A and B are shown apart, each in its own frame.
Chain A
Amino acid sequence: MSENASKLNLGALDRQVAYSGEGISVRSLEDNIAAERESQNGKVEELKVLRERNVEIQSALAEEVGKLRKFGDYMDGTAVAGGFWAGFKEIISYVPGFRNIAISRRSIEELLKQQYQISARRVKEAAEYVDTLKRSEQDLYKEIDRINQKILEMARNEAAAVDFVLELKALVDAIEAEKQAVEAGGIEFRDLDAKQDRARALLAQHSANLQLYGAAEERYVSLKENTRKLVETIRNLGQDISQYTTAASIKLDMASAQIQAIGTAADASVVMLELKRSLDVMTESMNATTQFVSDTQVFFRRNLDTLITELETFDETTTKMLDANLAESRQIEDERIAAAIEKARRHKQTAGVPSA
């Protein structure tokens, strides 16, 4: 090797760049993102199921509140065209298993206790969702931590790729300058040319890495933002449910003795007004629970569908970007190869060697 060539710093040609994590490619990036998104999709699916379950609970609660309100109205005597007992027969018919029976044979105390138990169960069913949502929230926080690690990793790799690409670019330029100073076509020239090819090959490879790591970083950032939105949705929902069910549960706990007392009194055809008052207490607790379900519905309608749409859009956009990058890279490579072949042909023609 000539004295001039020895001035070049060719270390970059043999250096292994220390990217952290596994090597990256368009396919591996797709696979990694798909894996990260899997848990997020799972949470979205959970929320979909929750939404459906909420519809069921809302219907059941609405029906029960309707019954309790009927009790209240008839106790007032305001909603009964055919008199108190005629109206009472109607409201009893709302209770499962009590259709078509004579009210005079029924125990109001028993009916009220049955209704109390149904109401308590409904409140507990609703409260169960609080824990489900909190668990999902924690899982998603963990997911955000994981994505953050990925973002950092991609950012570090991107920085490493940038440094290396610049170094390689400088080397390619330096070799080019060296080539200008030696005899064209000579041995030294060929040697420099070979080194420049290696440098260019590395440059192409690490330029692609630079693009991929950059795209990956952006993609993970978007994924994190969506996950964060999902967490906020779940947290708000959980807090709302918690408030409503706690209030409803406390009211039911406090109303149990009143329910029994007015049931007994009603059975003895005594103090019907007390029945009305106690029913109001019970209705209030049910109202609180119904309200949360209603709010939940609105919350879901407003947020969940948008989130799902955003996730799909985001995914589609990123895929397109990566596909475009890949296509562009391939085109550049093809052009290079074509140029190299053309050059090789010209060289052979000049040397008088028939081409193959």
Chain B
Amino acid sequence: MSELVALHTQAVRGPLVTPYLTALGRALVAGRTSKAFPDRRPLEATLAALAPELHQGLYDEVYVDARSGLPNLASFTRVLADREVGIESLTRLESQGELDARRGEAEIFERMARKRRYFEALRGLELAPVDRHRVLLRRHEPEQSRASFKVELTKLLADGCYVRVVIDLWQRSSVWAQSLVRLDDGGEVAEGTEALQGTVYRFANFDAETLFVRLHEIDGVTVERVQRGQIGPVLWAIPGEGVLHRVAEPGSGALARAWSTCLPDLATGPPQFVVMFASDTAANDVREEASNDPLSPLLGDQLSSHERARYGILRARHPFKVYKDRKFVVTAAVRPVVEGLCAAAGTKNLIYPLA
């Protein structure tokens, strides 16, 4: 019911699906995510759309990334494609009443009645995008030949986590011929160039400071803030029929090791979850450089002494400071595992309960 079926792909089936998706949905609410993270509601909608209660049993499984513990690209795409195709199909299908009335005639009418309900429900949902770029104009100062923009990217990362990157930057018009952001003729609507989108997209996998440095070094561009909010990874374990179904490839980090150690104690009892929300900010207005993330120390602290010196020179050219944090949403039985991790790292993290 939770076996690996392809590269980093775990099929969660049958009675596991609902408790898995329900717990994830609750964790999103409990995590109290800010605007630095991907929008919560579309992601909740995607989780709901993957559940049998909404798709009326049309699918047997949910494909989950075996590393991040979140629904993977195939699952995100499934509901998005169903929504697109469904909206078109609804114009051709008979009414719900007509299909319901024919349910007893043949299996196909019973199936179409369910499908129509699913499509109708999907139509009203705003689903989580696989990727989405947005550029918003914050301020335009024509007399100064400059404008300030907020650049946003929501992305399903290749490691299965879901991230939002938000960048506040200024751009001077003297170099707009090769600009990152274009304004329309009215000076009101901004559009990111493909060069900007490509750069942000590729660097979304890395720390906020890496993207800050990369963009800040472009002529005419001044970066004020790069903020990165990531949902996942998720460690999950659901007992069922004498087997402990669980995230298949949790990695080898400190938390994953501690998690693996406590698994035998989780073989019976309720499902257990550790859902992580990591944030990473590189900004001019960060007062003190620090990491409150027990799983991700500052970049400078991870370098050898030789590399650290070079890094110091690089950082001296830029005014920003970095702050990292991570909060957790956990079920009761695994709370001590997370608390132990934070204590060992010397961090003070928010740990919200997941009922």
Answer yes or no: are A and B bound together in one complex: yes
Chain A residues within CB distance 8 Å of chain B:
98, 101-102, 105-107, 109-110, 113-114, 116-117, 120-121, 124-125, 128, 131-132, 134-135, 137-138, 142, 252-261, 263-264, 267
Chain B residues within CB distance 8 Å of chain A:
5-9, 63, 65, 72-74, 77-78, 80-82, 84-85, 89, 92, 105-106, 108-109, 111-112, 115, 130-131, 156-158, 194-195, 197-199, 201-202, 205
A257 near B112 (CB under 8 angstroms)?
Answer: no
A121 near B158 (CB under 8 angstroms)?
Answer: no
Q: Which residues from B are CB-within-8-Å of A259? A: 73
Q: A131-B115, A254-B9 are in contact. Are A110 and B201 (CB under 8 A)?
A: yes
A116 near B112 (CB under 8 angstroms)?
Answer: no
**Most chain B beta carbons < 10 A, residue from A101, A105, A252, A264:** A105
Q: How far in angstroms is the closest Cβ of chain A from B16?
A: 17
| Other-chain residue from A101, A125, A138, A257 in contact with B72 (beta carbon distance below 8 A) | A257
| Chief secondary structure at chain B's binding surface | helix
Q: Which residues from A are CB-within-8-Å of B9? A: 253-254, 256-257
Q: Which residues from A are CB-within-8-Å of B198? A: 105-107, 110
A124 near B85 (CB under 8 angstroms)?
Answer: yes
17 A-B pairs besides A105-B195, A137-B108 with CB distance below 8 A are A109-B202, A113-B73, A121-B85, A124-B82, A131-B108, A131-B111, A138-B105, A138-B108, A252-B74, A253-B9, A256-B74, A257-B6, A257-B9, A261-B8, A261-B158, A263-B158, A264-B158
A257 near B85 (CB under 8 angstroms)?
Answer: no
Q: How far in angstroms is the closest Cβ of chain B from A145?
A: 11
Q: Which residues from B are CB-within-8-Å of A267? A: 202
Q: How far in angstroms is the closest Cβ of chain B from A133?
A: 9
Could you list some 14 contacts between A and B, CB below 8 A?
Answer: A105-B195, A105-B198, A106-B194, A107-B197, A113-B131, A117-B130, A125-B85, A135-B109, A253-B6, A253-B74, A256-B77, A260-B156, A260-B158, A263-B158
B82 closest partner in A (C-beta): A124
B202 near A107 (CB under 8 angstroms)?
Answer: yes
Q: How far in angstroms is the closest Cβ of chain B from A103?
A: 9
| Chief secondary structure at chain A's binding surface | helix
Cα(A258)–Cα(B6), bound, Å: 9
Q: Which residues from A are CB-within-8-Å of B111? A: 131
A116 near B108 (CB under 8 angstroms)?
Answer: no
Q: How far in angstroms is the closest Cβ of chain B from A72?
A: 19
Cα(A102)–Cα(B201), bound, Å: 15
Q: How far in angstroms is the closest Cβ of chain A from B9?
A: 5
Q: Which residues from B are CB-within-8-Å of A105? A: 194-195, 198-199
Cα(A107)–Cα(B195), bound, Å: 9
| Other-chain residue from A98, A120, A138, A261 in contact with B78 (beta carbon distance below 8 A) | A120
Q: Which residues from A are CB-within-8-Å of B72? A: 256-257
Cα(A204)–Cα(B311), bound, Å: 111
A117 near B89 (CB under 8 angstroms)?
Answer: no
Q: How far in angstroms is the closest Cβ of chain B from A155?
A: 27
Q: How far in angstroms is the closest Cβ of chain B from A267?
A: 5
Cα(A134)–Cα(B99), bound, Å: 14
A121 near B195 (CB under 8 angstroms)?
Answer: no
B80 closest partner in A (C-beta): A117
Cα(A310)–Cα(B111), bound, Å: 33
Q: How far in angstroms is the closest Cβ of chain B from A108?
A: 9
Q: Which residues from A are CB-within-8-Å of B199? A: 105
Cα(A98)–Cα(B197), bound, Å: 12
Q: How far in angstroms is the closest Cβ of chain A from B130?
A: 6
